[in-house]
Amino acid sequence: MALIRDRILFEVTFEDLAVPLSAYAHLIVEKECAEQIFCRRPWAKPEDKKYQKSNFTVRVIRPKKDSNEPR
């Protein structure tokens, strides 16, 4: 077992997402983005992949390691 310390950023872009105008709109957007990240994981089961939406794209961003950053 290894102890790993890292940071991974996900960039999710989407078009034409129908969201009702309410105080909870940002929560709906965050939930939809989180679901799309989950559905697109490399080890996703076929039944999970069927929930991928074509109007979403997910990109993994690995920040460059800063040499001054503690390990």
Domain-embedded: residue 51: yes
Domain-embedded: residue 57: yes
pLDDT at 70: 60
Residue 37: band (very low, low, confident or very high) from pLDDT cuts 50, 70, 90: very high
Residue 58: pLDDT over 80: yes
Domain-embedded: residue 29: yes
Token code pair at residue 71: 């390990």
Q: How far apart are CA 1 and CA 17, in angstroms?
A: 41
Question: Is residue 40 a contact partner of residue 58, using CB atoms and an 8 Å limit?
Answer: yes
Token code pair at residue 23: 């105080």
Cα–Cα distances in angstroms (integers) from residue 39 to residues 25, 35, 48, in the given order? 21, 6, 6
- Domain containing 41 equals 17-61
Number of domains in the chain: 1
Return the bridge partners of 61, or none.
9
pTM above threshold 0.85 = no
